[in-house]
């Protein structure tokens, strides 16, 4: 990591800050631990990202009340992107909480989220960003990594996961012969 960023300390501070905005939080943490200078430089950015990281953590776990609490404090969190790993160990790079709920088809969550956006000028700007994110998920899907494999989907694939597992159960129930349920 050190040699990747050996010239970072030669950049003007503004360029370093701009570079950091394009790094996912885990990468920024790793970079900040490479030297005392980087730690001092990046710690304020990491502190700013803590609410977003906590918000995304609760979104991917479906914790509606906690998500609502975060958005009531700062409704802009709904459009901000960062890296998050869900309960199935899928790692999403630069995804917003809203994009995740669209992908997960969590209508209850996205309804709660949208209800937290105020009906004013600032809220209209956020709604415009959400519309853009919706169109991106609808046309391009979301990208995540699972077991070192990159997957791009427009929504959670029930057919290849839950429905497939349920079909295996039904098929085994309907299979001829004796059933050994203790095995």
pLDDT band for 80, please (50, 70, 90 cuts).
very high
Quote the pLDDT of residue 9.
Answer: 64
Residue 100, CA atoms < 13 Å, CB-side half-sphere: 31
The rounded percent of the chain whose pLDDT value lies above 70 is: 79
Collect all residues with Cβ–Cβ distance below 8 Å to 175 and sequence separation of at least 6: none
Query: What H or E segment, with its residue span, contains residue 129?
Result: helix 121-140
Average pLDDT, the chain: 84
pLDDT at 172 over 80: no
Compute the radius of gyration of the chain from its Cα atoms: 21
Q: Tell me what the mean pLDDT of segment 100-115 comes to.
A: 94
Taking 70 as the threshold, does the pLDDT of residue 147 lie above it?
yes
Give the CA count within 13 Å in the CB-facing half-sphere of 120. Answer: 4
Domain segments of the chain: what residues? 3-174
């Amino acid at each position: 990591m050190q040699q990747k960023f050996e010239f970072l300390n030669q950049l003007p501070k503004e360029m370093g800050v701009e570079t950091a905005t394009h790094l996912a939080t885990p990468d920024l943490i790793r970079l900040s631990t490479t030297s005392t200078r980087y730690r001092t430089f990046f710690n304020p950015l990491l502190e700013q990202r803590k609410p977003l990281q906590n918000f995304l953590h609760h979104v991917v776990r479906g914790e509606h009340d906690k998500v609502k609490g975060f958005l009531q404090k700062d409704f802009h969190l709904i459009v901000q992107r960062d890296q998050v790993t869900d309960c199935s160990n899928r790692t999403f790079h630069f995804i917003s909480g809203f994009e995740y709920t669209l992908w997960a088809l969590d209508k209850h969550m996205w309804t709660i989220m949208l209800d937290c956006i105020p009906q004013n000028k600032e809220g209209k700007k956020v709604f415009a960003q959400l519309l853009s994110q919706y169109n991106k998920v609808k046309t391009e899907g979301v990208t995540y990594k699972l077991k070192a494999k990159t997957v791009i989907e427009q929504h959670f694939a029930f057919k290849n996961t839950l429905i497939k597992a349920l079909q295996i159960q039904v098929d085994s129930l309907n299979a001829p012969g004796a059933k050994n349920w203790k095995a």
